[in-house]
Amino acid sequence: MKISSVIVHYNTRERLTHCLDAIEKWGPSEDIEYLVVDNASNNDISDIIFNHSSKVKLISNENNHGWAKAANIGISHSSGEYILFMTPGTLITNGLIRNLTDFLDSHPNAGGVGPTQINEMGILQPIHTKTGVIRPLWAWQKLRRCFPIHSNYPGERIDRDLPNIKVSCLSGFCFMIRRLALDQAEYFDEWPFMFGEEIDLSLRLNKLGWDCFVLPKIKAVHYQGSSYKPNPSLRRWVEQCRLASRYYWRRKHYGYACGLIESTLGTINFLTRALYNIMLIPISSRQTTSVSIKEDLNQCYTSIKLMIWGQRHANKIMNIARDRGNTSSTN
């Protein structure tokens, strides 16, 4: 088998249907298998799998293991030389899988490759060529929302006319990995329940001597997760997981000091945004932004605890995430 595709699914029936529809329309018809790993969703999806190609196989987990462990389960059931990871919110385009495959065939130094991302509004998303300690921390913390003069940083200024761009990290919505490289990296780190898995893998591939690339002219549409947005409690939990994951992989790859910088800048960022909204937004519109202010203050509090307690608090957040994820799967 040349290609295996692994799609980790959790409670996104409609998006999975559209994802598989795009696969049937634009995916290759030979030498490929599609593995849908269901993380104990509340609704049965066997009918969706049955209504699509016989090349689509369902792997049903009894518990919600989080993305990384579910992806590793998918890898263990796969047989392809190359493995394509997609979220259910990804819609591939004509020739995408073939172009990614051809690139890995012709670039033996490439451990992974991905397309350019287009969001649901049809807007081309930035390609981040660098990740490290200071510059991406500034961008990721999005202080540019308060200081628009910093709306761009060097990692975003690239020539999209190039046939390929070397990047330090792949984008998790859609990317293809060479199995040899994946075996050497020993698969995904299963510590995070969600967020940052592809960043950690990309950095480990870099350390093993493998390069990662993005193909600017090859595009895929990504509908980002929105099931938690109407629920403030769930949204707060998800954002805590995001902060804990950032702290974890920064510390893992760049040391304790970088983890401390991450949580410190997070504290400054969220506090600054909250104060900015409180002081500068007109009184008449404060009511509409009160939720945003509260969320910023909650994330500021989480960043402070990460700054003080470090990995201990990050572990606590992820343990709660696992318990909550499995509880929601059984309701």
The enclosing H or E element of 242 equals helix 232-254
Delimit the domains of the chain by residue range: 3-134+156-222, 232-330
Task: Sort 285 into a burial class: Cβ within 10 Å, 0-12 / 13-18 / 19+.
Answer: exposed
> Pairing state of beta strands 90-91 and 165-167?
unpaired
- Cα 144 versus chain centre, distance: 22
Residue 165, both tokens:
């761009």
For the structural domain made of 3-134+156-222, what CATH number should be given? 3.90.550.10
Angle at 315 between CA 312 and CA 318, to 5 degrees: 155
Eight-class DSSP state of 263: H
- Cα 312 versus chain centre, distance: 23
HSE of 34 in the Cβ direction (CA atoms, 13 Å)?
Answer: 25
* pLDDT tens for the chain, residues 1 to 331: 699 999 999 988 899 999 999 998 888 878 899 999 999 888 888 888 888 878 889 999 988 889 999 999 999 999 999 999 999 999 999 999 999 999 999 999 999 999 999 888 777 776 665 555 444 444 444 444 443 333 333 344 556 678 888 988 899 999 999 999 999 999 999 998 889 899 999 999 999 999 999 999 999 999 876 444 545 667 777 888 988 998 898 888 888 888 888 788 888 878 887 887 777 666 555 555 676 778 888 888 888 998 888 899 999 989 888 887 766 554 4
Predicted TM-score of the model (pTM): 0.83
Query: Could you tell me which of 245, 252, 254 has the C-alpha nearest to residue 306?
Result: 245
